[in-house]
């Protein structure tokens, strides 16, 4: 069984990386070569800016290439709860930002002609308990009334026709969602940014930066360069001088397994609509099919960091959950098992703006495939003086009490959520 991400393992090599010395001076230095950084690099280069992307490892090597491959409308919080806490206007604006995010991915694929198996098939949130179905019904009514008429509440019978499992009591269908091979998309995005003029350096760790009269002196593992502006697109990165951001982001492990290739007849009976799926539990699961007919099945599994034995232990948890949900897959072999870090904020809403004059966009909280692409383009506008392009500009970002970068409290949080899942 492969311990690397399926997306990364089945993607083409990136051919546009720079191999020479760093430039002495650029308009913008982008720290991080995931979807945010690459999307911003492309957009800034199209504006005529000189741009360098500094990636500590390989492009899309972290969250952008290690996720579950879902790209759909929907904030990380329940929409009804978001509307109750922030008001209908802000909840609507945030929901619409995710709608635009999905369309930003589609537009970029079409503009750059990226071969990534893009399909428009929506997302189905499945009710794991009868009371969850009642909550989805209220949420569906509110969404239809306030922001999106193209959602549908499915009964238990309708959900069973979509997902051949006895585990669910209905579901909420949101049609504004797509699937793609996120690895091929990411490499295509990197190649597009390079074609537009961005200089992309892999294996280049940014150690620190210091403000000076010309902007910032950026020190890296391959030397220093001068940049007028810096954009941090680092997510839950554990390297470099990012202490202020680490106090505000909790790195949570998310884990995924992928089966062997499944027969078409089994897929037709198991998941005939071939959508993206997520369950309603706090510690729930998400799943979808790959372009070559594997089932990707993921979730938090264990509240732990990703890496080594942690990924393997989480894979066993996921395999058991998949077998319980789909007894038809009990004897199916797993070909991949991997993990990655999700950059969670305390309220599960993204953060973007400036700190100390340096720009940032991160904290996508498990919904980054689409939002990272939108925010890369949005930050290119913000850095060009158009702050209104940032949908998250009104959110403050206080430090998380007791958190200094290492998430010592994850097991406690996991235990609490398990109790909540049992009780509610």
**Pick from 233, 224, 232, 207: which is nearest to 25 by CA?**
224
Q: Quick check: helix, strand or coil at residue 419?
A: helix
Q: What is the pLDDT of residue 238?
A: 81
Query: Could you identify the residue written with the tokens 């998430």?
Result: 407
Give all strands (DSSP E) within 61-212, no chain letters. Answer: 70-72, 119-120, 123-126, 151-154, 171-174, 177-179, 199-201, 206-212
The per-residue DSSP string of 202-262 comes to SS--EEEEEEETTEEEEEETTEEEEEEEEEE--TT--SSS-HHHHTT-EEEEEEEEEESPP
**Pick from 79, 71, 2, 3: which is nearest to 35 by CA?**
71
Q: Are 162 and 273 in contact (CB under 8 A)?
A: yes
* 76, 113, 325, 328, 331 from 334: Cα distances, Å: 28, 32, 16, 14, 9
For residue 301, pLDDT over 90 is answered with no
For residue 307, pLDDT over 70 is answered with no
Q: Are 352 and 361 in contact (CB under 8 A)?
A: yes
Superfamily covering domain 6-413: FAD/NAD(P)-binding domain (3.50.50.60)
Q: What is the pLDDT of residue 422?
A: 67
Torsion sign (Cα): 241, 376, 287, 124: positive
Q: Quick check: helix, strand or coil at residue 173?
A: strand
Q: What is the pLDDT of residue 252?
A: 86
Q: Name the pLDDT band for 253 (thresholds 50, 70, 90).
A: confident
Tell me the C-alpha distance between 209 and 318, whole Å.
Answer: 41
Tell me the C-alpha distance between 328 and 270, whole Å.
Answer: 8
Tell me the C-alpha distance between 98 and 96, whole Å.
Answer: 5
Q: Which tens digit of pLDDT belongs to each residue from 395-415?
A: 999 999 999 888 777 676 666
Across the chain, mean pLDDT equals: 93
- The beta-carbon contacts of 83-91 under 8 Å, at least 24 apart in sequence, are 83/142, 83/146, 88/146, 90/394, 91/146, 91/147
Q: Are 386 and 228 in contact (CB under 8 A)?
A: no
Q: Are 323 and 257 in contact (CB under 8 A)?
A: no
Tell me the C-alpha distance between 364 and 76, whole Å.
Answer: 8
**205: its two tokens:** 């760790």
Weakest-pLDDT range from 13-17, 47-51, 82-86, 394-398: 82-86
Q: Map out the domains of the chain as residue ranges.
A: 6-413
Report the pLDDT averaged over residues 354-381. Answer: 97
Q: Which tens digit of pLDDT belongs to each residue from 168-210?
A: 999 999 999 999 999 999 999 999 999 999 999 999 999 999 9
Torsion, CA 63, CA 86, CA 124, CA 165, rounded to 10: 100
Q: Which tens digit of pLDDT belongs to each residue from 88-104?
A: 999 999 999 999 999 99
The per-residue DSSP string of 282-343 comes to TT-EEEEE-TTSPEEEEE--SSS--STHHHHHHHHHHHHHHHHH-GGGTTPPEEEEEEEEEE
335 backbone dihedrals φ, ψ, rounded to 5°: -100, -20
Q: Which is more confidently placed, 80 or 377?
A: 377
Q: Are 151 and 172 in contact (CB under 8 A)?
A: yes
Tell me the C-alpha distance between 257 and 2, whole Å.
Answer: 10
Q: Which tens digit of pLDDT belongs to each residue from 216-248?
A: 999 999 999 999 999 999 998 888 889 999 999
């Amino acid at each position: 069984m492969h311990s690397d991400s399926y997306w990364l393992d089945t993607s083409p090599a990136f051919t546009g990386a720079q191999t020479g010395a760093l430039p002495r001076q650029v308009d913008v230095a982008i720290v991080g070569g995931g979807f945010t950084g690459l999307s911003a690099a492309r957009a800034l280069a199209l504006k005529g800016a000189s741009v360098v992307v500094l990636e500590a490892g390989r492009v899309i090597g972290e969250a952008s290439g290690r996720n579950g491959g879902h790209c759909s409308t929907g904030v990380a919080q329940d929409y009804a709860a978001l509307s109750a806490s922030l008001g209908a206007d802000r909840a609507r604006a945030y929901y619409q930002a995710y709608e635009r995010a999905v369309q930003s991915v589609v537009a970029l694929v079409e503009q750059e002609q990226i071969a990534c198996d893009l399909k428009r098939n929506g997302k189905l949130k499945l009710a794991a308990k009868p009371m969850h179905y009642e909550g989805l019904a209220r949420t569906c009514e509110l969404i239809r009334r306030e922001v999106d008429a193209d959602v549908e509440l499915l009964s238990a019978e309708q959900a069973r026709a979509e997902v051949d499992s006895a585990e669910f009591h209905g579901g909420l269908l949101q049609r504004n969602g797509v699937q793609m091979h996120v690895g091929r998309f990411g490499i295509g995005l990197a190649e597009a940014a390079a074609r537009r003029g961005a200089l992309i350096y892999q294996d280049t760790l940014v150690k620190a930066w210091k403000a000076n009269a010309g902007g910032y002196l950026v020190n890296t593992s391959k030397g220093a360069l001068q940049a007028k502006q810096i954009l941090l697109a680092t997510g839950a990165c554990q390297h470099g001088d990012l202490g202020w951001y680490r106090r505000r982001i909790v790195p949570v492990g998310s884990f995924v397994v992928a089966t062997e290739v499944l027969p078409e007849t089994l897929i037709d009976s198991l998941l005939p609509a071939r959508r993206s799926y997520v369950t309603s539990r706090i510690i729930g699961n998400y799943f979808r099919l790959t372009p070559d007919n594997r089932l990707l099945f993921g979730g938090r599994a264990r509240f732990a960091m990703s890496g080594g034995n942690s990924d393997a232990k989480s894979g066993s948890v996921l395999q058991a959950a998949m077998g319980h949900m789909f007894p038809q897959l009990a004897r199916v072999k797993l070909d991949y098992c991997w993990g990655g870090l999700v950059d969670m904020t305390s309220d599960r809403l993204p953060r973007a703006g400036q700190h100390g004059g340096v720009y940032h966009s991160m904290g996508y909280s498990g919904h980054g495939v689409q939002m990272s692409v939108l925010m890369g383009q949005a930050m290119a506008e913000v850095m060009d003086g158009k702050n209104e392009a940032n949908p998250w500009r009104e959110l403050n970002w206080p430090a998380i009490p007791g958190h200094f970068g290492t998430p010592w409290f994850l097991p406690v949080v996991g235990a609490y959520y398990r109790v909540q899942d049992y009780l509610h």
